[in-house]
Amino acid sequence: MGKSNMKTIDLRSDTVTLPTPAMREAIYRAELGDDVFGEDPTTNRLEKMAAERVGKEAALLVASGTMGNLVCLLTHCGRGEEVILGDQSHTFLYEAGGMSALGGIHPHTIANQPDGTMRLEDIEAAIRGDDVHFPRTRLICLENTHNRCNGSALTPQYTDAVAGLAKNRSLAVHLDGARIFNAAVALGVDVKELTRSVDSLSFCLSKGLAAPVGSVVCGSKKFIAQARRIRKVLGGGMRQSGIIAAAGIAALEQMVERIAEDHKNARRLTEGIARIEGLSVDPAKTQTNIVYFDSASERLTAQKLVMELGKKGIKLLPVGPRRLRAVTHYGITAEDIDLTLTVLRELMEGSVAAH
């Protein structure tokens, strides 16, 4: 069989999505200007649309989710000031330490619970008193959906509770909402319910929404004005950024509701994995489009399983010696999930037989 007619089923991340035909068309037709002069009409339109969508006054297009979080942290905090965030958070683990490297910001991590929350009492206990020995606490960061915690969705009630606590202590709240629309769709709520009580958020256009590039930072007019300066400091002032924004508009208009399909496929994958001997998964934990599971096989470690799957055109991410991650997204069908399950079952049966 020729390898060329084998479809690749890439479940490593929802960042691998390619732009839709409508996005390519929108990019082709985008009206452009110089955005550093505020003159790119398409970028202006995306920013206005994004702000309205999440119920904030203003928004700012940035190059990536990492840049979005960094811009927000640098806008909220000065050097030697402290951020409270989860020990499993993307910002702490996977953003190259940007807050310390570029902002002199001190991360204060507390435990993420398996559902992606941090206990309110843990947050409370982490807030510094007014003492010359301590860094000043400025900010609390939440992540919704929570990538490392099974893509779980934080509820409006929880978000409001953290924001209430923050307000009482004169702190700000930033939401890493890389997949905030996955959370809204999974919970069946308007995204505004998940953003109403936070001071700033960033969300990705280039993940489940399938745009090729970009994230959007949202907040008050005053916050975004300062964030715009910080973005320029970071070299993120872009010129004819309407090329990117055009796809972002199509993403917001056309790609939010279909996320439900990704969640259905993730559930299908989870339930299938639960029935394969040698693999283990907690079905209750799959809420959105991210599935973590473990291999109990001596022979098929995560690395080996990924290699064997790769030979069949199926790509997964090893995230520990026994642990793997699969993410569903635009372009992945129920048939792709079934094929993945068939191959996984065959591999595991082979593995069991070899014992």
Ligand X SMILES: *Cc1c(COP(=O)(O)O)cnc(C)c1O
Binding site for ligand X (CB under 6 A): 64-66, 69, 90, 143, 147, 176, 178, 204, 206, 215
For ligand X, give the closer residue by CB, 64 or 159.
64
Write down the least CB distance from residue 143 to ligand X, Å. 5
For ligand X, give the closer residue by CB, 76 or 278.
76
Write down the least CB distance from residue 30 to ligand X, Å. 21
Write down the least CB distance from residue 55 to ligand X, Å. 20
Write down the least CB distance from residue 95 to ligand X, Å. 7
Contact 88, 149 (CB under 8 A): yes
Residue recorded with tokens 């991590």:
109
For ligand X, give the closer residue by CB, 152 or 215.
215
Specify the pairing of strand 323-327 against strand 317-318: antiparallel
Write down the least CB distance from residue 199 to ligand X, Å. 17
Phi, psi of 327 (to 5 degrees): -125, 130
Write down the least CB distance from residue 180 to ligand X, Å. 10
Determine the Cα–Cα distance for residues 85 and 107; give it in Å rounded to an integer: 7
For ligand X, give the closer residue by CB, 159 or 295.
159
Q: Six-digit token pair at 276? A: 């394969």
Extended beta strands in the chain, E state: 9-10, 58-62, 81-86, 106-110, 136-143, 172-176, 200-204, 215-219, 279-280, 290-295, 314-315, 317-318, 323-327
Write down the least CB distance from residue 177 to ligand X, Å. 8
For ligand X, give the closer residue by CB, 218 or 344.
218
Determine the Cα–Cα distance for residues 22 and 313; give it in Å rounded to an integer: 27
Number of helical (H) and strand (E) elements in the chain, helices listed first: 14, 13
Whether residue 66 has a cis bond before it, omega within 30° of 0: no
The residue with its CB nearest to ligand X is: 65
For ligand X, give the closer residue by CB, 181 or 279.
181
Residue recorded with tokens 């000065």:
78
Determine the Cα–Cα distance for residues 103 and 71; give it in Å rounded to an integer: 10
Determine the Cα–Cα distance for residues 30 and 247; give it in Å rounded to an integer: 9
For ligand X, give the closer residue by CB, 17 or 64.
64
Per-residue DSSP letters for 8-32?
PEE-S-GGGPPPPHHHHHHHHH---
